[in-house]
Structure 1
């Protein structure tokens, strides 16, 4: 029985009716080949079952064609949107993306980073701005382009980012929620979030807005590191038992806020009359919930697209068109925090 030989790049070129050089360009730098030609080559690749020799390509180009992305949690819908947009943008630029989930663990981030760097990455995306000393040493030694997502350097002693940052001010996002709840007439707004660096900044902004508006210290209640619907349900059940004291709640994730809405409906707590609820992320479910959910919107697609553009410039050795990029945030007022009369 004869053994079928593996298809070659030349086989793909013959089937697509183009030169071998054009096939090579389409596979390594698809953005410089016309869409019509790419479609012919893609069809030939699928028909023949051709698998490019990435190791050989790396020897020639000194690039792996791989970008790593360390994400805090893939269960957060706003991060899922970001990942999808990143993947699409990088694919158009000829890169594959490896994804690792740190679950907010600096130890896990270090383990994943070591594994990723062994792949000879062309660049790295970090969806969290706070790292262990070991991770910082690894990144410095790697000497590859790095872009951090979400958390702009801010505060009394701003952190020193590893590379460029595409994100927003956590302080400003928290302040916008606090100002809105005060303006709606609530007198005991409370903050519901995890106790880490980014959430602390959101709380500081929230606290400042409440202090300026009401002259009182807002309560802060701790939620889980990995946001979930159950978090919001648990907090409302505690409120119903008299364990918490507030008439408005700012949850730092929409999933928690949606859980709170469900729990209020089940327990007969009127929203927004008895309790105002504000979320963070402005997920699609916020718009269709009943009542619809007030939320702080972060432009996730803009974050991802700007990240891809900056990273590709850095990989090519070009001067980036911007340093840190502030995409901003926007409070979207809906029924869950309607003005109290």
Structure 2
């Protein structure tokens, strides 16, 4: 019985009708090769079952072709869109995306970061800009190009970013929701979100907008750390029982906002008449719900595309080490807050 030899890079080159250097370039930097040539090489790779020797490639290029991303939760539709766009953009640039889910745990983030740093990453992406002291020490001890997603440094004593930042102002997002509820005629606005640094900033913006418009302190109640549709269900049930006194609600995620909307319908509470509801994230369900859901929109694809551009620049040794890109936020007003008494 004879053992079939493994196909080589030169075998791929002969079948595709190109040089070995062109095959290598197509596999490591696909954006540097024409679409027609790349398609011929990909077809040859599939026909031969060729598997590149990444270890050998790393010794030559000192690149792994891998970008690590630590994401808080893959179940969040906004982050799912971000991840998909990141993956597509990085693939066009010749990189593979390795994802770890922290579930909003700083301890888990530290464990995953240690595992990732041992894999000779070409770049690192961290969702959200709030980390443990241990994580910050690990990050400051590495020279891997790094981008933090979503949260711009802000507040009374903003932390100096470890790398580059692509995100928005949490304070501005909260303020936009607070102003909108006040402008729509709601007199007892409430904030429903988790108690952490970024949501505290959203509440600070929300509170300032409500205080400026009404001169009253808005109610704040905490929900679960991983936003869930049941959070909104619970809030509306408590409103119906008289345990919570509010006529306008800002949920810092669309999923609990949708849960609140559906529960109002089930319990016979009028939206926007008895309760105005504003979410965060502007998920697709927001515009097709009945009534349609007002929400604060963050441009997830813009965040991802800017991240890919900055990261590729840094890997090439270009760009500013601590550049910041503010993608902004936008309140999308819909039927769920259309009161205007």
Short-chain TM bin? over 0.9
User: 2:14 — aligned with what?
Assistant: 14
What are the within-5 Å matches in structure 2 for residues 248-287 of structure 1? 248-287=248-287
Secondary structure of the structure 2 residue equivalent to 1:3? coil
User: 1:246 — aligned with what?
Assistant: 246
Following superposition, the deviation at residue 339 of structure 1 comes to: 2.6
Structure 2 residue 317 is the aligned partner of structure 1 residue 317: yes
What are the within-5 Å matches in structure 2 for residues 283-298 of structure 1? 283-298=283-298
Structure 2 residue 22 is the aligned partner of structure 1 residue 27: no
CA distance in 2, matches of 1:183, 1:319: 42
CA distance in 2, matches of 1:88, 1:26: 16
User: 2:117 — aligned with what?
Assistant: 117
CA distance in 2, matches of 1:320, 1:139: 17
Secondary structure of the structure 2 residue equivalent to 1:233? helix
Structure 2 residue 70 is the aligned partner of structure 1 residue 76: no
Report the number of matched residues. Answer: 341
What are the within-5 Å matches in structure 2 for residues 1-341 of structure 1? 1-320=1-320, 323-341=323-341
Following superposition, the deviation at residue 27 of structure 1 comes to: 0.4
CA distance in 2, matches of 1:263, 1:291: 12
CA distance in 2, matches of 1:68, 1:54: 16
TM-score (structure 1 length as normaliser): 0.99
Runs of 4+ in structure 1 deviating by more than 6 angstroms, as ranges, are none
- For structure 1, the residue ranges without an aligned partner over 5 or more in a row are none
1:231-264 CA distance string (max 9 Å, x none): 1111111111111110010000001101111111
Following superposition, the deviation at residue 300 of structure 1 comes to: 0.4
TM-score (structure 2 length as normaliser): 0.99
Indicate conservation of the 8 Å contact 1:313/1:320, yes or no: no
CA distance in 1, matches of 2:11, 2:232: 58
1:254-304 CA distance string (max 9 Å, x none): 011011111111111100000000000001110000000000000000000
Secondary structure of the structure 1 residue equivalent to 2:141? helix
CA distance in 2, matches of 1:44, 1:229: 48
Secondary structure of the structure 2 residue equivalent to 1:142? coil
Secondary structure of the structure 2 residue equivalent to 1:69? strand
CA distance in 2, matches of 1:177, 1:130: 23
**What is the Cα-based RMSD across aligned positions, in Å?**
1.0
CA distance in 2, matches of 1:311, 1:62: 17
Indicate conservation of the 8 Å contact 1:273/1:340, yes or no: no
